[in-house]
Amino acid sequence: MSKNFLYLLVLQLVLFSCANDDLNDLNNEEYVVLFPESLPLNTLEYNNELYVFYDSRSDYLQFSKLDHKGNVVWNKDLLWQTYPDNSIVILSGSKINFYYEYMAEFRRLVLDLDGNILSNDLISTSSFQYIQKFDSGFYRIRCFEEAIDIETYSLTGELLLTRTIDAHIESPSPKVIIKGNKIYLFSTSNFNSDFPSYYEYFRCDVFVQNRLVNTINIPTLEKYPAEHSGLVFNDGTILMPFTYEDNTGFLNYEWRIFDPVTGKEVKNKKFEASSNISAAMINTDGNIVFAGGNPRLNDKTKWSQFTILDTDLNQLSQRIIGSYDRGELFFEIKETQNYYYISGTTFGSDGDFDLPNNSPAVDMFIYRLNK
C-alpha cells in the first residue's frame, strides 16, 4: 500500500470525524481540515476548490486539492526534501505558479490543475526574506542593517525593477509593506540588554520615492511590539499593534492608529486575548481582520478568535474558533470573493477542533469561513 494512499486515508478519516462532530458550529459551506504533523506554506482557491502546499515532515513537499466541502480529492508528492523559506502561489490561466525560496535559490514550480509538475525553473540565485503580492505582480524584499533591497516581478516571474533603499534596521524580524509609491517599514530599535531584554521603541519608517519622509517612534515600556501584525490602510493610515500582560498573566492587545503625514496617534483601543494575535490583514472593504487568542472564561471556551473591526476599531463581528486545550498559531488569512481561508498550526494533544483523534504533535489546519 503506497504512502500517498495511507496519507489520503488518514486525512479522509479526520474529515469524516469533522463532519460528524457538528464542528465549531460552522455554517453551510464552511469547513476546517486538519493535516496531522504538518506546517502550512500556501493556498490558492479556484472554482471554490482549494489547492494547499504544505510540509508534512515527510521526504517531499506536499500538495493537496480540497473540494468545495473540504474533502481531500488527491495528495501529491512534489519536491524531494524541499521546504521553502517563503513562497507565493499565483494562478495563470489553467496553470499554478508556485514561487519559492530554497537554499539561496528563487524558483518557479509550474503545475496543472491536477497537480502534475510541468516545470521547475530557476529564476535567481539570490536569497530574499519576503514575497509580497500586488495586483499585477509581486515583490521580493530583503532587509539588511542599513538597507532594503526590493525586486519587482510580473505575475509570470519576469524581473521588472530592482532598487535599494537606505534604512536603519535593528529588528530581527522587520516587516515591509509596499503601497503605490510608498514603502512602510515596521521594526524595533534601541535594544536594551537589561533583564528582561527588550527593544525600547516600536517604529514605522515611511519612504516615498525611496526617500525617508516620516518616522513614527513609540516607546514600548512594558508593551511588546507586534511587528508582524503592522498594517497600512488603503488611505495610508498606519496601524501599529502592541501586546501586554494583564495582572492575570494573559496577553492583551492594543491597536493604535497613526496619521502617516503628521505621525500623530488618532485612535487606540484595547482588546482582551489569551495569547498573541498572530495573523492580521486589511480586507477589500478596508476593515481590519485578525485571528489569535481569545479571552477564555472557562475550560469550555475555545482558545482562539476570528474578529473584524472597522477603521474606528469598532467590532463588526467575531467568531470563537479553535481547540479547548492549548490554542493555535495563525500563519495567514486569505480573502476571496466569498470566503476567508485561515491557515495555521494547533498545539493541543486533545480536542483540537472537537476532534479526539488529532496527533500529539503540531498539526496544521485550514479553516474556511463565510464572509
Which residues lie below 8 Å from residue 281, measured CB to CB, with a gap of 6+?
231, 288, 289, 290, 333, 335
Give 307-340 pLDDT, tens digit per residue. Answer: 999 999 999 999 988 877 667 888 899 999 999 9
User: Residue 294 to residues 166, 252, 358: CA-CA distances in angstroms?
Assistant: 39, 9, 21
Gap between the Cα atoms of 118 and 127, Å rounded: 24
Alpha carbon 234 to its chain centroid, in Å, reads: 19
Q: How far apart are the first and last CA of the chain?
A: 41
pLDDT of residue 21: 37
Q: Interior CA angle at 90 toward 37 and 317, to 5°? A: 70
Block residue for cell numbers 527593544: 199
> Nearest Cα to 291, choosing from 276, 305, 303?
305
Which residues lie below 8 Å from residue 298, measured CB to CB, with a gap of 6+?
none
pLDDT of residue 358: 63
DSSP state at residue 335: E
User: Residue 24 to residues 31, 324, 355: CA-CA distances in angstroms?
Assistant: 9, 11, 10
pLDDT of residue 16: 37
E strand or H helix that includes residue 65: strand 60-66
Block residue for cell numbers 526534501: 81
**Is 268 within 8 Å of 246 (Cβ atoms)?**
no
In Å, the largest CA–CA distance within the chain is 65
Rg of the chain's alpha carbons, rounded to an integer?
A: 21
- Helix (H), strand (E), coil (C) string for 108-174: EEEEECCCCEEEEEEEECCCCCEEEEECCEEEEEEECCCEEEEEEEECCCCEEEEEEEECCCCCCCC
Q: Interior CA angle at 230 toward 225 and 234, to 5°? A: 155
Cell of 362: 503540531
In terms of C-beta distances under 8 Å and separation of at least 24 residues, what long-range contacts does 207-213 make, across chains too? Answer: 207/165, 207/167, 207/182, 207/183, 208/181, 208/182, 208/183, 209/181, 210/163, 210/164, 210/165, 210/183, 212/166, 212/167
Length reported for the chain: 371
Instruction: State which residues of the chain have pLDDT below 70.
Output: 1-25, 195-196, 222, 227, 249-250, 273-277, 296-300, 325-326, 348-360
Question: What's the pTM?
Answer: 0.85
Alpha carbon 75 to its chain centroid, in Å, reads: 23
- Give yes or no for a cis peptide into 196 (omega within 30° of 0): yes
